[in-house]
Amino acid sequence: MAQATGLPLVEGDDHHSAANRDKMSRGIPLTDTDRDGWLAALCEQLRTHPDGVVLTCSALKKAYRDRLRQAAPGLRFVFMAINRDEAQARVMARANTHFFSTALVDSQFETLEVPMGESGVLRVDALAPLTDLQTQITPWLLNKEPA
């Protein structure tokens, strides 16, 4: 999406603290308190890119999304809908290169507050081919069409 829109890419996982990375690598779910500094860092990233940015993160709760919206009024979210089994398979596939433990997939789904019905949210099928996702998402982002 960053390439298609010409916007910078910010990977949310790069902004977790060492303590959070350690917890997640050991399969310990993060708490709201754990996520506080991470969300502050993401908000700062949004503020430092006033012309737009593609930010990848798992803003699982409405409160997290609202905090990000406060940092960047008009912020929009693409909700990558995926089932638990496919999410588990994807996390397993990157187990040797990423700190996120496969043991955390269930807690992510338990924490998730699906954003449908919130303003500025587009739901897409995470299993769709990348070219299809780009074709669906890019016009929505660039034209700022309502979700």
The answer, yes or no, to whether residue 147 has pLDDT greater than 60, is no
Structure tokens at 93: 């596939």
How far apart are the C-alpha atoms of 72 and 50, rounded to whole Å?
A: 8
How far apart are the C-alpha atoms of 79 and 97, rounded to whole Å?
A: 24
The answer, yes or no, to whether residue 104 has pLDDT greater than 80, is no
The answer, yes or no, to whether residue 95 has pLDDT greater than 70, is no
Model confidence over 106-139: pLDDT tens digits?
A: 788 888 899 999 999 999 999 999 999 999 999 9
- The pLDDT value recorded for residue 112 is 86
Strands 9-11 and 121-125: unpaired
Give the domain CATH number at 77.
3.40.50.300
- The CA–CA distances, whole Å, from 140 to 38, 91, 121 equal 27, 28, 10
What domain range is 9 assigned to?
2-143
Q: Does the pTM exceed 0.95?
A: no
- The pLDDT value recorded for residue 86 is 86
**Span 97-112, average pLDDT:** 73
Number of domains in the chain: 1
